[in-house]
Structure 1
Amino acid sequence: MFGIPGSSPVTITPAAEKQIARLMAGKNAYGLRIGLKKGGCAGMEYTMELADTPNTNEEVVEQGGARVMIAPMAQMFLFGTEIDYETGLLESGFKFRNPNVTDSCGCGESVRFEPLEGSRAEL
């Protein structure tokens, strides 16, 4: 919807691909839906859920055994984002490296985007 023809709106690292495929297989899901919602210190939070089918107008990105669906209202904010999965001693989880983020809270759970010129840029 907001992509460049022939270019994926998001990229998925091999670690994230492996984790998404594992989650999909474990729940017999069609894919992982990602989006944004209002909340957190900085104003917006990423959302993720396993889903059985894609919704109308969702962008579907397939890579290897992983399938990611991007909610329509989040597509313009997620364009160019790299989805990674990091494993550490104290925590493991998905990381979004999003070039559109202008600010984030100290804990990294919420982000802020500059409003698009001439729009309210609300979800």
Structure 2
Amino acid sequence: MIIENPITITDRAAEEIKNILTQKKVPEGYFLRIGVKGGGGCGGAAFTLGFDKEKETDMSYTTKGISVVIEKRQMMFLIDLEVDFEDRRDERGFVFNKKNAQ
């Protein structure tokens, strides 16, 4: 099922994802999977990124040339999420921001 972009990927994050796809030689037909892990306790949910094949239980869309899949049952936790990439002197990695967090 194709939907509008529920998750935003910044230009920096898109560039890094494309670099990983090339460097790691991710096979054709794999999507960027954005998900949520956990959610119980004080720590809350942790967002995850990986590469995977599309499943029947997924929603998919393309943004900035990247094919993305999200498990339908996780969608409510991921709407309005922004995936960014930071490259600082002491740390480097993907960062997840909720755009409409209150």
- Report deviation, 1:22: 1.6
Which runs of 5 or more structure 2 residues have no equivalent in the other structure?
A: none
Greater RCO (CA < 8 Å, at least 6 residues apart):
2
Corresponding letter in the other structure for 2:8 = T
Q: Does 2:31 match 1:31?
A: yes
Q: How does 1:1-123 map to 2 (within 5 A)?
A: 7-25=4-22, 26-29=24-27, 30-38=30-38, 41-51=42-52, 53-99=53-99
Distance 1:59 1:100, change over 3 A: farther
Q: Distance in 1 between matches of 2:61 and 2:92?
A: 23
Distance 1:9 1:80, change over 3 A: same
Corresponding letter in the other structure for 2:65 = G
- Report deviation, 1:8: 1.3
User: Rg: which structure is higher?
Assistant: 1
For residues 51-97 of structure 1, the C-alpha deviation after alignment (integer angstroms, 9 at most, x for no partner) is 1x211132223223322211222211111111111111111111111
**Secondary structure, in 3 states, of the residue corresponding to 2:45?**
strand
> How many residues align structurally?
98
Corresponding letter in the other structure for 1:46 = F
Identical aligned residues as a percent = 34
Q: Distance in 1 between matches of 2:76 and 2:88?
A: 30
Distance 1:58 1:100, change over 3 A: farther
Corresponding letter in the other structure for 2:16 = Q
Distance 1:48 1:73, change over 3 A: same
